[in-house]
């Protein structure tokens, strides 16, 4: 699986954890990670560089760790 697929898979897992009892802070963090991933023109353009998804992975990883989900951290 390539980096973008790994990020996408982790984002889907995070989205699937959302429920009525999910704290607002957790919801916002998950939204940040997912939105950052789908936005192509962020710090490093996703399609403009071979390193384009590295910043997306960094954001996802920070959110995963903050939410206590180190299993969703992707290798860069």
Q: What is the DSSP secondary-structure string of 20-54?
A: TT--HHHHHHHHHHHHHHH-SSSSS-TTTSTTTTH
Check residue 9 and give its pLDDT. 98
Short-list 76, 75, 63, CA closest to 17: 63
Residues 7-26: tens digit of each pLDDT: 999 999 999 999 999 999 99
Cα distance between residue 10 and residue 61, in whole Å:
9
In the chain, the largest separation of any two C-alpha atoms, in whole Å, equals: 39
pTM here is 0.87
Residue 48 has pLDDT above 70, yes or no: no
The residue-averaged pLDDT of 25-43 equals 90
Structure tokens at 51: 């390193």
């Amino acid at each position: 699986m390539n980096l973008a697929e790994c990020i996408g898979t982790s984002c889907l897992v995070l989205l699937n954890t959302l429920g009525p009892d999910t704290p607002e802070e957790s919801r916002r963090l998950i939204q940040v990670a997912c939105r950052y991933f789908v936005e192509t023109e962020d710090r490093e353009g996703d399609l403009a560089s071979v390193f384009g998804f590295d910043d997306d992975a960094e954001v996802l990883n920070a959110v995963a760790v903050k939410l206590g989900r180190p299993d969703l951290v992707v290798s860069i």
